[in-house]
Structure 1
Amino acid sequence: ALTLPRYLAATRPGSRQQVVEADRGLLRLVAERLPLDGASGVDVHGADAREWLDAAPDDSADIVIADVFGGSRVPAHLTTVTYARAADRVLRPGGHYTANLADGAPFAFLRSQLATFAEVFEEIALIAEPSVLRGRRFGNAVLIAAHHPVDVATLARRTASDVFPARVEHGDALRRFIGDARPVRDGEAVPSPEPPDGAFSIG
Structure 2
Amino acid sequence: MTQKSLKQFDGDIYRTTGKLAENFRQFVAAFIDFPKPLIAAVNGPAIGAAATTLALVDCAVASDSAYFSTPFSYLGISAEGCSTYTFPQIMGQSMAAQMLYFNHKMSATEALKSGFVSRVIPSAQFDEYIENWIFADRTGIVNTCYPQSMRASKQLVRSADIRRVLHEVNRYECLILRDRFTSDESIKTIEKYFGQNKQKSILNK
Instruction: Quickly name the TM-score band, shorter chain normalised.
Output: under 0.3
Greater fraction helix: 2
Larger radius of gyration: 2
Greater fraction strand: 1
Q: TM-score, with normalisation over the residues of structure 2?
A: 0.26
